[in-house]
């Protein structure tokens, strides 16, 4: 891999240049003129190699103590929500590097996060006083979408050791973020790169299969139906001959009692260069709600194990009222699977629409109570959580 000089930048400070605050509204007006720079066909764009988009970025937590406070949590380790923000910005930066045209002073593309496919952690603790290195490159390309693989490592005794691996999917849009826009093709250069590229193709097909089999579209499998019925039988009150009397088994919690909600007013401070709310900010807020649920549910300190299948379905406008609803949906031994659903509320139309769904897997220090669904809808949520949990456990 081509080793670029590490960029010692705080990623989202890119919104500022020459010391002046970025005028988002004016910038969006100016971007309209960039339409003429868009390619009409993907074949008109020069192919790129994986090393062309490879970047290394240092987050100097060890060497610049003044930036630590922003990253610090109360357990004297790094706030994972802040890492999510940095990964989001780095993913976009990698895609801009892949699509960069030397002749163009500015990119006509608006690159947005469409999906966090997965983030798997191999360290429980991220230290707040050791430098962090992020690396990554575009690993697969479709017509307008790009898969980005990123890695995070932390410096200990002179060596960087792995902390997490992440796979994101970014989508290129026109300068006004209205329609899809073509991106440069990617040519694998070695058998190893061909394997990575093929995996990107398989990931796309797997996502389609997962969505097709979604419990929002299809009935559960026979095995899953048995699980739900066993839970139902296990919660029937045997003293009454009734389908209605339900009793909580020992060391269990009804699903309806394992949720928390939050509200976020989306201030301009949290907007990205396209005048919409940062994907990383949304992830941080959802993660922190998920963490709070895991903490209160498990009664001890939870550690994040995996983030998967975060879909960015709709952009969040500046000024939106963002409603976050988090729920424990599956548990096993020390593990807690959490789903956070976010929607924006439009006060004028009094309508809500979903913007994101997040899935987080936490491990608690102690064994946690079993979460038990009561209604059919909760049972589907339970099975969906189990599917996510099983997929995560296969990977780690």
Ligand X SMILES: CCCCCCCCCC(=O)SCCNC(=O)CCNC(=O)[C@H](O)C(C)(C)COP(=O)(O)OP(=O)(O)OC[C@H]1O[C@@H](n2cnc3c(N)ncnc32)[C@H](O)[C@@H]1OP(=O)(O)O
Enumerate binding residues for ligand X (CB under 6 A).
14, 88-89, 92-93, 96, 112-115, 142-145, 169, 171, 173, 180, 272-273, 276, 278-279, 311-315
β-strands 252-254, 370-372 pairing = parallel
Whichever of 114 and 155 has its CB closer to ligand X, that residue is: 114
DSSP 94-122: HHHHHH--TT-SS---EEEEEEEEEEEES
Whichever of 77 and 97 has its CB closer to ligand X, that residue is: 97
In the block, residue with structure tokens 């969040």: 316
Whichever of 109 and 293 has its CB closer to ligand X, that residue is: 109
The CA–CA distances, whole Å, from 289 to 144, 283, 297, 310, 339 equal 32, 10, 12, 15, 10
Alpha-carbon distance of 254 to 371, in angstroms, equals: 6
Nearest Cα residue to 137 out of 304, 2, 230, 339: 2
In the block, residue with structure tokens 């929002």: 216
**Rounded least distance, CB 122 to ligand X, Å:** 25
**Rounded least distance, CB 131 to ligand X, Å:** 21
Whichever of 48 and 276 has its CB closer to ligand X, that residue is: 276
Whichever of 140 and 382 has its CB closer to ligand X, that residue is: 140
DSSP 126-186: --TTS-EEEEEEEEEE-SSEEEEEEEEEEEETTEEEEEEEEEEEEEEE-TTSSSB-----B
Alpha-carbon distance of 213 to 155, in angstroms, equals: 42
**Rounded least distance, CB 269 to ligand X, Å:** 14
Q: Are the C-beta atoms of residues 157 and 149 closer than 8 Å to each other?
A: no
**Rounded least distance, CB 358 to ligand X, Å:** 12
Kindly provide the residue ranges of all beta strands, DSSP E only, lying in 255-366, ordered along the sequence.
259-265, 302-312, 321-332, 335-346, 351-364
**Rounded least distance, CB 198 to ligand X, Å:** 16
**For every residue of 59-85, which 3-state class applies, written as one string?**
ECCCCCHHHHHHHECCCCCECHHHHHH
**Rounded least distance, CB 333 to ligand X, Å:** 31
CB closest to ligand X, residue no: 142
Whichever of 252 and 357 has its CB closer to ligand X, that residue is: 357
R_g of the chain, CA atoms, integer Å: 22
Whichever of 12 and 259 has its CB closer to ligand X, that residue is: 12
Whichever of 255 and 266 has its CB closer to ligand X, that residue is: 266
**Rounded least distance, CB 146 to ligand X, Å:** 8
In the block, residue with structure tokens 């988009």: 53
As a dihedral over the C-alpha atoms of residue 110, residue 276, residue 166, residue 371, rounded to 10 degrees, the angle is -150
Q: Are the C-beta atoms of residues 278 and 345 closer than 8 Å to each other?
A: no
Whichever of 50 and 368 has its CB closer to ligand X, that residue is: 50
**Rounded least distance, CB 247 to ligand X, Å:** 41
**Rounded least distance, CB 168 to ligand X, Å:** 9
């Amino acid at each position: 891999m081509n080793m670029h000089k590490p960029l010692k930048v705080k990623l989202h400070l890119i919104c500022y240049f020459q010391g002046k605050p970025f005028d988002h509204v004016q910038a969006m007006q100016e971007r309209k003129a960039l339409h003429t720079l868009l390619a009409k066909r993907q074949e008109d764009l020069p192919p790129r190699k994986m090393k062309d988009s490879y970047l290394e970025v240092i987050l100097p937590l060890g060497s610049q103590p003044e930036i630590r406070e922003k990253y610090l949590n109360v357990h004297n380790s790094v706030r994972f929500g802040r890492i999510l923000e940095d990964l989001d910005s780095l993913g976009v930066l990698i895609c801009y590097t892949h699509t960069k045209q030397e002749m163009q002073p500015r990119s006509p593309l608006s690159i947005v996060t469409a999906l966090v496919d997965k983030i798997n952690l191999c360290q429980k603790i991220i230290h707040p006083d050791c430098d962090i290195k992020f690396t990554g490159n575009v690993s697969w390309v479709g017509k307008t979408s790009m898969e980005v693989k990123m890695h995070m490592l932390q410096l200990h005794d002179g060596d960087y050791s792995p902390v997490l691996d992440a796979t994101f999917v970014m989508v290129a849009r026109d300068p006004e973020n209205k329609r899809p826009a073509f991106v440069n093709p990617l040519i694998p250069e070695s058998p190893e790169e061909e394997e990575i590229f093929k995996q990107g193709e398989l990931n796309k097909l797997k996502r389609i299969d997962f969505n097709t089999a979604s419990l929002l579209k299809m009935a559960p499998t026979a095995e899953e139906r048995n699980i739900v019925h066993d839970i139902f039988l296990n919660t029937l009150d045997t003293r009454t001959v009734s389908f209605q009397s339900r009793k909580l088994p020992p060391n269990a919690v009804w699903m309806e009692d394992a949720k928390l909600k939050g509200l976020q007013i989306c201030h301009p401070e949290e907007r990205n260069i396209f005048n919409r709310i940062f994907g990383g900010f949304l992830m941080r807020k959802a993660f922190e709600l998920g963490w709070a649920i895991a903490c209160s549910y498990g009664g001890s300190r939870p550690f994040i194990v995996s983030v998967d299948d975060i879909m960015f379905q709709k952009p969040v406008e500046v000024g939106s009222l963002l409603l976050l609803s988090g729920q424990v949906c599956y548990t096993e031994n020390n593990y807690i699977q959490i789903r956070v659903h976010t929607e924006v509320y439009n006060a004028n139309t009094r309508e809500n629409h979903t913007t994101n769904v997040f899935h987080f897997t936490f491990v608690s220090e102690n064994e946690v109570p079993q979460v038990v669904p009561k209604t059919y809808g909760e049972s589907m949520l339970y099975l969906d959580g189990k599917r996510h949990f099983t997929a995560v456990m296969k990977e780690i």
